[in-house]
Structure 1
Amino acid sequence: MRRFLRFLALGLAIGIGAFAALSLPAEAAAKKTFKIGYSVYVGFEPLEWLKSSGTMKRWADKYGIEVEIVQINDYVAGINQFIAGDLDAFAMANMDQLVMPAAGGVDTSLFLIGDYSNGNDAIVSKTAKSVKELEGKDIFLLQYSVSHYLLNRALIINGMKGVGAVKTTNISDAEISAAFISQPQMEHAVSWKPMIPDMLKGAQGSKIIFDSSQIPGEIMDVFVAKTETLKDNPDFGKAFTGAWYEALGHLKEGGAKADEVKSVMAAALNTDEAGLKTQMDTTHFFLSPVEAHAFLTAAKTKEIWNYVRTFCFEQGLYGQGADSVDAIGIQMSDGSVLGSEKNIRIRIDPTFTKLAADGKL
């Protein structure tokens, strides 16, 4: 499951990133084998079908390379493996790209977007009927995660001063559902599926008062590689992007092939067809490269990244020594930069999605 960002992991990532930047050799242009990692989450599970169907191998063969897709059970550990150079790319939430590899000094490129949360993440309450009723209340969540970001945006949208208007208490994703159900004093919480349905079912009278469908596009699940890796080895980006859109093309078209992909996804998520549908219904997959390219190049995407970077800086997630929200540069698809042009650490790269949209892979 993605979203396991922990504050201690941030320090580890910064240390690993600095070490990697100093000690790892530059990627060789002749590199022929690549590894892309991911953790269990509905938005990433088409990767399981790419592996089991041989689709990834077929696309890699087309470009004369090898691409291994690796499931990493610990999300943060997977990002740290990417930072250290053990993985060539990793699937992660956009916010985590900023506060882990980018804040750790690693120049990274978002080269493919898979989906955004469209209701998977939510604020649940036993007593409040609106977000405004949360002012001054205790809110339980996994701190410094996208749950924290969602709460901040919900409060701001409702005319409040972000997370400063409430009291937040950290609780792990593994504990939040059971605690919300069993502890009457735990009235308000922020989490994501599959915990949210269990919380609503187990705590009678509880309801969702805000969810990620109200901030469409802001909680993205993306594929990230080191910029140097893609620059030296564009065939890696082409092969992976081609394979990915073959899988999503089946989902878009429906029919027997889509059923095959969904069956593999459901098994990987340890659920059935109904359980998978529940998760997919609140996940906005970019089923076509045309749609994905439009999103990556839209003016709204720059606005979203500004929300994300502002929240991260205000929460101290840029790391020690960062004295401004502009300390880290985020280069948008049009070449404009949010933050420092001298310290660009995130690049929104629509190149491969554009090739897919134009049928040139």
Structure 2
Amino acid sequence: MIAPIRQMARIAMVTGVAVGALLTAACSQTAEAPKARTEFSIGWSIYAGWMPWPYAQQAGIVKKWADKYGITIKVVQVNDYVESVNQYTAGKLDGVTVANMDALTIPAAGGKDTSAIIVGDYSNGNDGILVKGGGDLKSLKGQSINLAELSVSHYLLARGLSSVGLQLKDVRTVNTGDADIVGAFASPDVKAAAAWNPQLTAMKALPGAGQVFSSADIPGEILDLLCVDTATLKANPKLGKALAGIWYETTALMTRQDAQGKAARAAMAKLAGASPEAFDGQLSTTYLYSDPKAAVAATDSPALVTTMARVRDFSFSRGLFKGATSADAVGMSFPGNETLGDPQRVTLRFDDSFMKMAAEGKL
């Protein structure tokens, strides 16, 4: 079962490493600047859009690109997604697969200068809002909605409500973990819920359930990234080049509609503990940026700035920037020297340089 457990970070982050460090960490780091190295570790956890990484290691693609640049890269599985992000934030990993909201609210908000060097995919229907009995988004006013609070489901609900002129204050949310959401929605007392796959698919099959909003209605907003420590990347640009080479060679292979592509996807499914059919189903609602030119275009688009403004405003409004008096407390930078928030505290950087190298055949 390929549960996108990346999204559960929002539930734990309130008590995680970001709390308390928000306002001072970015300007108080005293660690010695990283030096040139030859060994690096990248953390990942199970999610359809991140399975190219362990497959690449298994297939020798990681070694191929690492050897090209005279380095060693260990692709490390961390069973708990939150723990993988926390390990990265604590400096135990050089990079990590992480969703955009979590990159902002955990390492960046905790003062760890982080660069998103690969925009890998976005949820294109993996997340949805369901209502029983033929209701719509407007019918949610005054109703209770079961979901994982402070998760991407919560963000999706806010976006869905705003599309029909409603706000979060117009509904009541009932905090329900992903392990319990299917059972909760099956109860006659629960009329509405928000969830992600594979739970979402199971809930859709329940009698009377209808989907009224999904991540496909806000394409490009729920992003999955590969992030690397900025200082480490600056001291070791070969790492960024190798990682870009690994990603695009692997995704080019897995998207092929021939025997080799099918075999690669089946191997990824096995690594994820899923059947090939289930894995392909997850990929069908995941927009994979397998073409580096498309990834560069998405990263350079003004739409990304708009998306991250929405994400940071939501995060601040729900208290995820503990100690901050403004959503501008955490700075973000984008291609073209555009910034959001405090330009003196930029700790999340969208860096398109390695994706561009891949697009231009310069890796």
TM class by shorter chain equals over 0.9
Whether 1:255 aligns to 2:261 is no
Which residue in the other structure is 1:207 paired with?
210
Provide the secondary structure at the position in 1 that maps to 2:297: helix
User: Aligned ranges for residues 334-353 of structure 1 at < 5 Å?
Assistant: 334-353=336-355
Q: Provide Cα deviations, 1:56-91, integer angstroms capped at 9, x if missing partner.
A: 011000000000111111111111100111100010
Which residue in the other structure is 1:55 paired with?
61
- Listed as ranges, the gaps of 5+ residues in structure 2 are none
Q: How far, CA to CA, are the matches of 1:154 and 1:233 in structure 2?
A: 42
Which of the residues 166, 169, 172 maps onto 1:164? 169
Provide the secondary structure at the position in 2 that maps to 1:174: coil
Q: How far, CA to CA, are the matches of 2:10 and 2:90 in structure 1?
A: 18
Q: How far, CA to CA, are the matches of 1:184 and 1:244 in structure 2?
A: 45
TM-superposed deviation, 1:278: 1.2
Normalized against structure 2, the TM-score is what? 0.94
Whether 1:45 aligns to 2:51 is yes
Whether 1:26 aligns to 2:54 is no
TM-superposed deviation, 1:247: 0.7
User: Aligned ranges for residues 132-143 of structure 1 at < 5 Å?
Assistant: 132-143=138-149
Contact 1:35 1:67 in 2 (8 A): yes
CA separation of 1:42/1:205 partners in 2, compared to 1, >3 Å: closer, same or farther?
A: same
User: Aligned ranges for residues 291-330 of structure 1 at < 5 Å?
Assistant: 291-320=294-323, 322-330=324-332
Q: Which amino acid aligns with 1:131?
A: L
Which of the residues 81, 98, 104 maps onto 2:87? 81
TM-superposed deviation, 1:127: 2.9
Whether 1:2 aligns to 2:6 is yes
Provide the secondary structure at the position in 1 that maps to 2:343: coil
Provide the secondary structure at the position in 2 that maps to 1:179: helix
CA separation of 1:137/1:53 partners in 2, compared to 1, >3 Å: closer, same or farther?
A: same
Normalized against structure 1, the TM-score is what? 0.95
Which residue in the other structure is 1:359 paired with?
361
TM-superposed deviation, 1:22: 4.3
Q: How far, CA to CA, are the matches of 1:253 and 1:263 in structure 2?
A: 12
Q: How far, CA to CA, are the matches of 1:285 and 1:7 in structure 2?
A: 26
- Listed as ranges, the gaps of 5+ residues in structure 1 are none
Q: How far, CA to CA, are the matches of 2:12 and 2:311 in structure 1?
A: 20
Which residue in the other structure is 1:117 paired with?
123
Contact 1:90 1:224 in 2 (8 A): yes
Which of the residues 88, 92, 109 maps onto 1:103? 109
Which of the residues 165, 181, 185 maps onto 1:180? 185
Q: Which amino acid aligns with 2:200?
A: I
Percent identity (aligned): 38
Q: Which amino acid aligns with 1:76?
A: V
TM-superposed deviation, 1:14: 2.0
Which residue in the other structure is 1:217 paired with?
220
CA separation of 1:284/1:290 partners in 2, compared to 1, >3 Å: closer, same or farther?
A: same
Contact 2:252 2:290 in 1 (8 A): yes
Q: Which amino acid aligns with 1:109?
A: S
Which residue in the other structure is 1:148 paired with?
154
Q: Which amino acid aligns with 1:341?
A: P
Provide the secondary structure at the position in 2 that maps to 1:221: strand
TM-superposed deviation, 1:295: 0.4
TM-superposed deviation, 1:225: 1.1
Contact 1:16 1:83 in 2 (8 A): no
TM-superposed deviation, 1:16: 9.4
TM-superposed deviation, 1:7: 4.6
Q: Provide Cα deviations, 1:144-203, integer angstroms capped at 9, x if missing partner.
A: 111111000000011112x1221111111111112222x2111111110010111122x2
Whether 1:196 aligns to 2:200 is yes
CA separation of 1:225/1:21 partners in 2, compared to 1, >3 Å: closer, same or farther?
A: farther
Structure 1, 267-276 or 91-100: larger mean CA deviation: 267-276
Contact 1:37 1:90 in 2 (8 A): yes
CA separation of 1:204/1:292 partners in 2, compared to 1, >3 Å: closer, same or farther?
A: same
